[in-house]
Amino acid sequence: MKMKIMIPLMGLTVAVLVGCNTNRGATPSSHTSHSSTSSSGMNNKASLERQCKQYLNARISREDQPLKTLRLDTATVKGKSLIGEGGVLFRKGGGSDISYACKFDGQGRIYDGYYKFH
C-alpha cells in the first residue's frame, strides 16, 4: 500500500522538476536581454559622466582636499573609458584645471579613474 502512495509522489516530484527545467530554459533569453540592456550603459554618456564626476569628487576630496565644485568641461567615450578636461574649486580656496579618465566595465559601471592637475 505504501508503494502505491509513493509512486504518485515521485511522479509529482518529477513533474515539478521538469517544470523547473522548462522555466530555466526561458531564463537565459531573459538574462540575455537583460545583459544586452545593461551593456547599453556604455551608450548612456550622461550616466557615465555622472558616475565619473561622483568618483572623481570623492577621490580628489580624499587624496588632496575637499572640493567645492568639480566640472567636466569635455567628455569623450573611448572604448570603455570616459576621458576629458575639467576643473575644480577647493573649499579652502583656489582651484585647478584637470585632465581625467574614468574606466567602466561592460555594463557601464565605473571601476577606476584618475586625474591630473594642470
Question: CB of 101 within 8 A of CB of 81?
Answer: yes
Question: CB of 73 within 8 A of CB of 90?
Answer: no
Class of domain 44-117: alpha beta
Q: What is the pTM of this model?
A: 0.65
- The percentage of residues in the chain with a pLDDT greater than 90, rounded to a whole number, is 62
The pLDDT value recorded for residue 40 is 58
Most confident of 9-13, 40-44, 59-63: 59-63
Q: Cβ atoms within 10 A of the Cβ of 56, count? A: 23
